[in-house]
Structure formats: C-alpha cells, structure tokens
Amino acid sequence: MLSAWQGRIFAGVAVLGVTCVAVSHGAESAAPLKLRFGGDQTQTRVVLELDQAAKADLVSDGAADGHVVLNFTQLKVGDDLDGQGKGMVRAWSMEKGVGKVKLSFDLARHGRIKRRFLLPPSDGQTVYRYVMDIEADAGSAPQQQPVAPAPKLTKANIAAPTMAAAPVAPALLADPEAPPPEAKSGLQKISLTDAVVTPRKRENKAIKAIAPTVRKVIVIDAGHGGHDPGALGGRSHEKDVTLAAAKTLQARLERTGRFKVVLTRDSDVYIPLEQRVKIARGANADLFISLHADSGGDPKVRGATVYTLSDHGVDRTAHSVFNGGFINVQLPGKDMSVKQILLDLTQRTTRNRSGAFAETLLEHISSETPLLRRSHRDAGYMVLLAPDVPAVLLEMGFITSPEDEGALNDSEHREKMMGSVGDAIEAYFAEPQPAQVAAQ
C-alpha cells in the first residue's frame, strides 16, 4: 500500500507526465469546449471551458427575474446551443448575436450570480475556465420543477477550430457531472454539457463515490502567539488578531460539514515554526493557510497580500529533506538523483496548487479589504516549506495602519473577511483536483 507521501509523489508524476499537444488558435476569439455544473440547490458553480481566454459583461445577475445573462464579445459558436442545468440552474442557452454570444441561465429558485473569474491552465488543466458562482437568496425555496425531458440535441456543432485532442491519463478524465459521451472522438453535434474531447464510458463509480464523502483537511495557522506577540499596532498585538481570525475561519468552514479543520494553536501559546509544518504534514492536510498582520513604518500603507513559496524556499526544503532537517520524508528508491527528481516533481505540483489557491483567495477577499500593490508575492517563509501540502501565508492588512487595525479588530469585518476566505477555499476545492484523484 502506498504511503500518503508516496501517493502524492506518484500523483505529481502522473499529472506532470501528461503530454499536451500544442494547438494554435487565432487570438481574436475563443471556442467553448464544455459547460459543467457542480454544487446543490443553494450554491452552484458553473464552469465554461475554453480553448483560450475570454471576457464577458454581466447583463443580469438573476436577482430580478431569475434569469442570468452574460454577453461574451470574443466567443465563437457554430449555432445556438442549449441544455439542462443542475442545482441552482434549471436550464441554459447560448445564442449567437451580432458581435456577441449571449449565455443565459434560468434559475431554479430565487438567487443571483455572486462572483465570476477566469482561471488559466494550471496543474494538469490544459484549458481556460470561466467560473461563475450562483447562490440562492436566504430563505428562498426551490421552485417545483417538471420532469426534465431528455437533453436536447442541437442542430450544429460548436464552431471550434480543428484541434488535436491531448492524450490524458485515464484517471484524470473522471468527471461525475458529465453524461456518457458518444462513441466518437472530437467535439460532437450535441449540447456543451455532453461535449468531451475523447471517448470514455462513464462507469467509474469508485471516483464518483469518493468525491462527495471525503472531507478536505484544512490546517489554519494563527501567526505568532505566547511570548512572540508579532507586530504591534496602536492598540493590539498581531498574535491576538490572528487567533481571532483563525477561530472565525474555523467556524465558517465547519458549518459546511465539508471540511476537517485543524488549528496549529487555539490559545495564546507559542508554537515553533517547524512544528507548524509538522502539524500540517501530520494531518495529511489538503491546504495550509497561515494568518498574519503586516507592519510598516508608514501608517498610510494598508492592504492585504498573499505569499506562496519562493525558489529560495524550495531550496530550503530540499536541504532539510536531504540533510537531516525537520522535514522528514522517506523517498522511494536508493539512487539520490531519482530521489531529487521525485522531490522536485512533488514540489512543483504543490507550488502550482498553492499559486492557484492564492489567485482564487485574492479574487475573493478583494471585495472585503483593499489589496496591496503586487498582492501575490513569494517568500521562503518556514511555514510554507512542506513539499507535499499546498500552502499560503495571508497578510490580512497592516496593523500599523489605523484603518486596517480597526478592521482587524472589528468582529463584523472579521466575519466578512473570513467568510470570503472560506468562499475561496470552497471555490478552490470545487475545481477538479486531478493529482488527488490519480493518487486515490
């Protein structure tokens, strides 16, 4: 049986070993490849997969009449498309217009589109993903839905350019939300929810059963503590605001029932930095987030930043692994060069995941707090060194700024801020995690 560490190593190898065929498309417009849904009757994520980046204007968020409308100006389809939805979405349609393509969703209950953003290819994903989160209004009840007819076949295929399908490892193809594809390769003349780039029968029940039952492990690290107060503000210490935020985020995540939350500290005690890394690795964490408050000499400087591991930090990890440091891992094999390659592959996958979460996190918290210029940075902080745990360090604001310090100590702001962090965590795990599936 593979250890958790070995599973992560071979997961990284499986993802990084996928060979993608380079495709050249014109920069003038993107072609939609697939539309998929995830979530339930209270919160539904819609993901439109594209062969290149695209932007959309939100015409209607759905709050007024239950009809969400977005206009894409750089999207091409061969003809109008439509299909059945899932969760908050009863049905969808994509209509060609003059200089635009209109994507519409009919909602199954009162709600609205809360956020939308574009994710570039990363960590095993070879496509762009235009992500839309739709949430139900508090207290609204699902509307009675008639029995859905069979998915409608469209009369024309998407006008996608000729492209070669990238060979994909079988374990990475599992998509519990997609219906069975036709027995032909390439994009077919059916609705987007049925379109896939390679044939595969949908009978892998093992992966389908795993997804909704396994709780993700989130380790939350409240920075500093005990004899280490951290940065000092006009009326507060960093160690106190980080602990309050950590407990608020813990409560936010545990309410969902989808996460197991571990705190590196739950009181005013000091935990050595290397011990915080050991806690994350010992818990087999799926994500590690360290909460801090920044400081500076100018009280006018304010805003949040997110740090991920730097190249220097990667070297620190390797030195610890191979020179008897606090990161103790058992790499398979006896050849040192092979061990170094395996460690490098694992670190690369972990850094890709950390970067993807950092971007998602910034997207969500930007609505609750100002961001420092160049808000995604890298550093060799010790708490980020775990080679097999995606990790970020969030500086929630400047405790030396009167505005930020006031916000950090305000319980209402703290609830909103940690609510947005929780939203980012949910959004991150709503996206497919191919390496984890491969490991399983």
Instruction: List the one residue out of 84, 89, 83, 85 whose CA is nearest residue 42.
Output: 89
pTM: 0.56
CA atoms within a 13 Å half-sphere pointing along the CA-CB vector of 179: 15
Q: Is the pLDDT of residue 327 over 60?
A: yes
pLDDT at 121: 79
Tokens of 404: 């930020």
Structure tokens at 82: 């439509």
Paired tokens of 283: 């818990």
Measured between alpha carbons, how far is residue 138 from residues 107, 110, 112, 141, 248 in Å? 15, 9, 11, 9, 21
Q: Where are the domains of the chain?
A: 29-198, 216-439
What does the pLDDT look like over 142-193, one tens digit per residue?
554 443 443 333 333 344 333 333 333 322 223 333 333 333 323 333 344 4
The CATH fold of domain 29-198: Immunoglobulin-like (2.60.40)
The mean per-residue pLDDT over the stretch 138-143 comes to: 65
Superfamily (CATH) of domain 216-439:
Zn-dependent exopeptidases (3.40.630.40)
| Per-residue buried b or exposed e for 4-22, using 16+ beta carbons within 10 Å of the residue's own CB | ebbbbbbbbbbbbeeeeee
Q: Give residue-wise pLDDT tens across range 4-45.
A: 555 554 444 443 333 333 333 444 688 888 898 888 888 899
Mean pLDDT calculated for residue range 329-353: 85
